[in-house]
């Protein structure tokens, strides 16, 4: 068999096949927006998925409009919105300036609910522990190595702390939970801010990594003397021990839906792209965050119809008003009134060409 | 979208030409014979094209990282997505440590089982049951190995670590290697068993006639005769261990630091990709993960080709 004769066209063909994948954005543009045929398409964060899926289900029953939401992760949601393959995106962290500048048109952030990250641990009897920001940062930096360390004992008088090594457990997968947690630690600890900093994945100074909330909580439950962080929803569902954290006002606050909502009682910027961690609110839990729905500010793009633009805006309006009543039962903190008002203002700025969508 | 038909038409023409080139010499055979042969050739070609296409895709998408990081990618100890500093050395070491440790653990068992099934129980119901069970090991989804490791192996290893006075993580390179050793066992056994059963009877009978015991026949005749075949079996198993992702991700502890020993937690190339790819943003970050995939692809391919070559030399 003539080997060369075959290999040359083979390589050429493979090259062609490999380069086929580059044009996804061109393929899908414009086709996603036909309300009647496909319903409304959304994609993004996994954290609010149970909440969205409940609200969208009720919306479908009330208005007869289907919403197809794919929980592919915040990063994926942002990418799909940039490629205009969905009507709305969803993200746990606000888009960075760099990400916004890469988008083809201005994008608005509309908060839909709040989440929080709790600090859980495995100690004999699981007492309710109190942590100051410095102590928490130093534990996750590996500077405090034992549970009976002076600094922990000083803020937990009367608690019997064992002579046990602290094993830190963190998320191994890239995650919005890690982003919020490290965002908080970066604000309260100068050391943490220089290294490792904040991000969805970090170069952790100490500890073991586990995949997902279930991985972290599993490892914490198995390992005596361990400490880790998980989402509030997950901790509530699984009745895990959670530490009280000292907030900026100096109060020790337990994580709950009420204290999470309270965290948003601060000065909110007009575009709502704000980090709520280390909040000024005196009764607010310090590691809380908005989760966002993302829309193009000008809904007239590609061959999108006004009807589908209005459908998307109406849906988002439903989520921030009527939809809020379903949050608490599912373990999500509803938006405080001030935040709903601000979100409504942003929503009113969304247009179709020059036309308002009210 | 619009460019696709043109592309596929061109592809079709190329394939047709290739088939003409291949089937040129077989003119005169009747039409059905030819059509059948063409179909077979096409299917075989599709596999080759896919492999090449995967390679080229990985290469193209890792270009930003190859440009930005260069060869330092393989020697840098830091993997920090926050500062955009990527070095694969800890994961390279983690991959090699887990794979070779797994091979070390599984080799005695694999050879023992192969001798048992290839020499002592070649045929019969007992052999059938054992063969099927070993093959079943290869069919268990790796996530189940991960669960088993978490619930059974991790507590045991933790007790061992407490006895030895090292931090009782439970998870880590050692734990992953044990599970990997079990997972790769069927791959080396299936080849080694066949090779051992193929040793010519003349050789064995000659040894027996000189007064050799069965143990002597195995150690002095069978094992030397099948050496390269056994080695090929181990290589194939190694190729499998290098790429295993799910079970390892669940058990290795997922730390970015360079492992300091076999009990320390670590990370493999495959597990880092599985962990971080879905939420990776930024050009260099994504490209660095893909470059690691490219490297893994090349290593696994080379090891497989090497194994196949040794088998070929053995059987010819």
pLDDT in tens, A58-82: 999 999 999 999 988 888 899 899 9
Whole-number pLDDT of residue B34? 87
Chain B residues within an 8 Å CB radius of A27:
1
Query: pLDDT tens, A258-294?
Result: 999 999 998 899 899 999 999 999 999 999 999 999 9
What are the CA-CA distances from residue B74 to residues A31, B66, B84, B267 (Å)? 43, 11, 15, 15
Whole-number pLDDT of residue A93? 85
Taking the CA of residue B129 as centre, how many other CA atoms within 13 Å lie in the half-sphere pointing to its CB? 3
Non-local CB neighbours of A78 within 8 Å, separated by 6+ positions? A44, A89, A91, A95, A99, A294, B281
- Two tokens at A168? 């830190």
CB atoms within 10 A of CB A239: 7
Rounded (10°) angle between helices B223-243 and B173-197: 140
Query: pLDDT tens, A104-163?
Result: 999 999 999 999 999 999 999 999 999 999 999 999 999 999 999 999 999 999 999 999
Whole-number pLDDT of residue A2? 54
Minimal Cβ distance to A202: which of B10, B14, B82: B82
Q: How far apart are CA A202 and CA B314, in angstroms?
A: 49
Whole-number pLDDT of residue A8? 59
Backbone angles phi, psi at A124, to 5 degrees: -55, 125
What is the nearest CA distance from B191 to chain A, expressed in angstroms? 29
C-alpha closest to that of B258 among B87, B101, B72 = B87
CB atoms within 10 A of CB A98: 9
* B10 reaches A (C-beta below 8 A): yes
Q: How far apart are CA B70 and CA B81, in angstroms?
A: 17
Q: How far apart are CA A73 and CA A91, in angstroms?
A: 8
* B166 reaches A (C-beta below 8 A): no
Backbone angles phi, psi at B263, to 5 degrees: -90, -10
Q: How far apart are CA B24 and CA A102, in angstroms?
A: 53
Minimal Cβ distance to B254: which of A14, A23, A210: A210
Whole-number pLDDT of residue B122? 85
If residue B55 lies in a helix (H) or strand (E), which one and from where to where?
helix B31-69
Could you say which residues from 160 to 199 on chain A have a Cβ atom under 8 Å away from some Cβ of chain B?
165, 167, 172-176, 196-199
Whole-number pLDDT of residue B3? 47
What is the nearest CA distance from A3 to chain B, expressed in angstroms? 10
If residue B108 lies in a helix (H) or strand (E), which one and from where to where?
helix B89-115
Chain A residues within an 8 Å CB radius of B253:
208-209
Whole-number pLDDT of residue B6? 55
Non-local CB neighbours of B95 within 8 Å, separated by 6+ positions? B242, B268, B269, B270, B296
What is the nearest CA distance from A285 to chain B, expressed in angstroms? 26
Per-residue pLDDT of chain B (316 residues; tens, 9 = 90+): 444 455 566 666 777 776 666 655 555 567 888 899 999 999 999 999 999 999 999 999 999 999 999 899 999 999 999 998 999 999 999 999 999 999 999 999 999 999 999 999 888 888 889 999 999 999 999 999 999 999 999 999 999 998 998 888 899 999 999 999 999 999 999 999 999 999 999 999 999 999 999 999 999 999 999 988 899 899 989 999 998 999 999 999 999 999 998 999 999 999 999 999 888 878 899 999 999 999 999 988 888 888 888 877 766 5
Burial of A175 (0-12, 13-18, 19+ CB in 10 A): buried
Chain mean pLDDT for chain A: 88
Q: How far apart are the first and last CA of chain A?
A: 71
Chain A residues within an 8 Å CB radius of B278:
72-73, 75-76, 173-174
Nearest C-alpha in B relative to A10? B49
Q: How far apart are the first and last CA of chain B?
A: 49
What is the nearest CA distance from A289 to chain B, expressed in angstroms? 18
Whole-number pLDDT of residue A30? 41
Whole-number pLDDT of residue B31? 84
Q: Hey, is B161 helix, strand or coil? A: helix
Nearest C-alpha in A relative to B267? A209
What's the CA dihedral at A182, A183, A187, A191 to 10 degrees? 30
Residue B41 near residue B22, CB atoms below 8 Å: yes
Minimal Cβ distance to A223: which of B53, B79, B170: B170
Least confident of A23-32, A79-88, B38-47: A23-32
Q: How far apart are CA A248 and CA A281, in angstroms?
A: 8
Token pair 């575009």: residue: A271
Check whether A6 has a pLDDT greater than 60. no
Whether residue B253 and residue A209 make contact (CB cut-off 8 A), yes or no, is yes
What is the nearest CA distance from A95 to chain B, expressed in angstroms? 11
Whole-number pLDDT of residue A1? 46
What is the nearest CA distance from A141 to chain B, expressed in angstroms? 14
Check whether A328 has a pLDDT greater than 90. yes
CB atoms within 10 A of CB A270: 9
Minimal Cβ distance to B21: which of A5, A23, A215: A5
Whole-number pLDDT of residue B2? 43
Residue B265 near residue B171, CB atoms below 8 Å: yes
Whether residue B7 and residue A219 make contact (CB cut-off 8 A), yes or no, is no
* B260 reaches A (C-beta below 8 A): no
Q: How far apart are CA A331 and CA A236, in angstroms?
A: 7
Q: What global pTM score does this model have? A: 0.82
Whether residue B49 and residue A14 make contact (CB cut-off 8 A), yes or no, is yes
* B258 reaches A (C-beta below 8 A): no
Whole-number pLDDT of residue A27? 37
Whole-number pLDDT of residue B168? 84
- Two tokens at B14? 């190329």
* B47 reaches A (C-beta below 8 A): no
Give the long-range contacts of residues B111-115, CB within 8 A, separation 24 or more.
Answer: B111/B192, B111/B230, B113/B185, B113/B189, B113/B193, B114/B188, B114/B189, B114/B192, B114/B193, B114/B195, B114/B196, B114/B230, B114/B233, B115/B196, B115/B218, B115/B222
Whole-number pLDDT of residue A345? 94
Nearest C-alpha in A relative to B49? A14
SS (H, E, C) chain A: CCHHHHHHHHHHHHHHHHHHHHHHHHHHCCHHHCHHHHCEEEEECCCCHHHHHHHHHHHHHHHCCCEEEECCCHHHHHHHHHCCCCCEEEECCCCCHHHHHHCCCCEEEEEEEEEEEEEEECCCCCCCCEECHHHHHHHHCCCCCECCCHHHHHHCCCCCCCCCECEEEEECCCCHHHHHHHHHHHHHCHHHHHCCCCCCCCCCCCCEEECHHHHHHHHHHHCCCEEEEEEHHHHHHHCCCCCEEECCCCCEECCCHHHHHHHCCCCCCCCCCCCCCCCCCCCCCCCEEEEEEEEECECCCCCCCHHHHHHHHHHHHHHHCHHHHHCHHHCCECCCHHHHHHHHHHHHCCEECCEECC
Cis upstream peptide for A196 (omega within 30°): yes
Q: How far apart are CA B312 and CA B316, in angstroms?
A: 6
Residue A179 near residue A197, CB atoms below 8 Å: no
- Two tokens at B52? 């090449």
């Amino acid at each position: 068999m003539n080997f060369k004769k075959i290999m040359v066209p083979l390589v050429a063909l493979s090259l062609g096949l490999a380069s086929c994948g580059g044009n996804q954005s061109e393929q899908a543009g414009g086709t996603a927006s036909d309300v009647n045929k496909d319903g409304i398409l959304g994609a993004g964060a996994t954290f609010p998925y149970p909440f969205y899926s409940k609200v969208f289900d009720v919306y479908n029953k009330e208005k007869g409009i289907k919403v197809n939401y794919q929980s592919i992760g915040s990063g994926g949601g942002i990418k799909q919105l940039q490629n205009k393959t969905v009507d709305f995106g969803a993200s746990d962290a606000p888009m960075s300036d760099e990400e916004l500048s890469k988008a083809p048109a201005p994008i608005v952030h509309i908060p839909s609910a709040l989440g929080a990250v709790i600090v859980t641990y495995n100690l004999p009897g699981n007492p309710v522990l109190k942590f100051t920001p410095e102590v928490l940062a130093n534990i996750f930096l590996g500077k405090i190595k034992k549970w009976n360390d002076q600094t922990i004992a000083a803020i937990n008088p009367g608690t019997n702390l064992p002579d046990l090594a602290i094993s830190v457990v963190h998320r191994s997968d890239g995650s919005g939970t890690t982003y919020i947690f490290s965002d908080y630690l970066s604000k309260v600890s100068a050391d943490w801010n220089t290294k490792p900093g904040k991000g969805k994945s970090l170069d952790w100074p100490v500890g073991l990594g586990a995949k997902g909330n279930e991985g972290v909580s599993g490892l914490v439950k198995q390992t005596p003397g361990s400490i880790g962080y998980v989402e509030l929803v997950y901790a509530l569902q699984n009745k895990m021990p959670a530490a009280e954290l000292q907030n900026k006002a100096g109060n020790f606050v337990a994580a709950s839906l009420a204290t999470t909502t309270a965290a948003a009682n601060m000065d909110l910027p007009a575009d709502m792209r704000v980090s709520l961690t280390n909040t000024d609110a005196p009764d607010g839990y310090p590691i809380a965050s908005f989760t966002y729905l993302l829309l193009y500010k000008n809904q007239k793009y590609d061959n999108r119809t006004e009807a589908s633009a209005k459908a998307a805006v109406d849906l988002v309006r439903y989520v921030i008003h009527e939809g809020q009543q379903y949050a608490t039962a599912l373990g999500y903190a509803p938006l405080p009134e001030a935040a709903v008002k601000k979100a409504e203002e942003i929503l009113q700025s969304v247009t179709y060409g020059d036309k308002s969508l009210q | 979208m619009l460019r696709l038909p043109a592309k596929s038409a061109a592809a079709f023409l190329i394939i047709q030409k290739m088939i003409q080139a291949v089937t040129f010499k077989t003119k005169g055979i009747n039409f059905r014979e030819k059509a059948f042969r063409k179909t077979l050739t096409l299917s075989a070609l599709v596999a080759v094209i896919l492999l090449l296409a995967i390679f080229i895709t990985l290469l193209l998408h890792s270009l930003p990282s190859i440009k930005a990081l260069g060869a330092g990618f393989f020697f840098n100890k830091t993997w920090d997505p926050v500062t955009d500093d990527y070095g694969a050395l800890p994961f390279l070491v983690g991959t090699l440590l887990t794979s070779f440790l797994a091979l070390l653990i599984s080799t005695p068992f694999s050879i023992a089982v192969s001798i048992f099934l290839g020499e002592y129980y070649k045929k019969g119901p007992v052999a059938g049951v054992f063969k099927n069970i070993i093959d079943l090991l290869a069919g268990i989804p790796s996530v189940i190995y991960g669960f088993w490791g978490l619930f059974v192996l991790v507590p045991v290893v933790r007790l061992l670590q407490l006895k030895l006075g090292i931090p009782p993580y439970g998870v880590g390179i050692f734990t992953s290697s044990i599970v990997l050793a079990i997972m790769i066992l069927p791959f080396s056994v299936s080849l080694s068993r066949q090779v051992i059963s193929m040793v010519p009877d003349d050789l064995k009978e000659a040894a027996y006639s000189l007064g050799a015991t069965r143990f002597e026949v195995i150690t002095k005749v069978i094992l030397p005769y099948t050496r390269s075949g056994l080695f090929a079996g181990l290589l194939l198993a190694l190729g499998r261990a290098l790429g295993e992702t799910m079970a390892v991700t669940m058990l290795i502890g997922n730390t970015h630091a360079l492992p300091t020993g076999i009990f320390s937690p670590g990370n493999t190339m495959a597990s880092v990709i599985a962990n971080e790819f879905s939420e990776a943003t930024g050009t260099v970050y994504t490209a660095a993960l893909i470059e690691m995939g490219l490297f893994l692809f090349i290593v696994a391919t080379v090891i497989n080709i090497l194994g196949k070559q040794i088998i070929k030399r053995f059987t010819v």
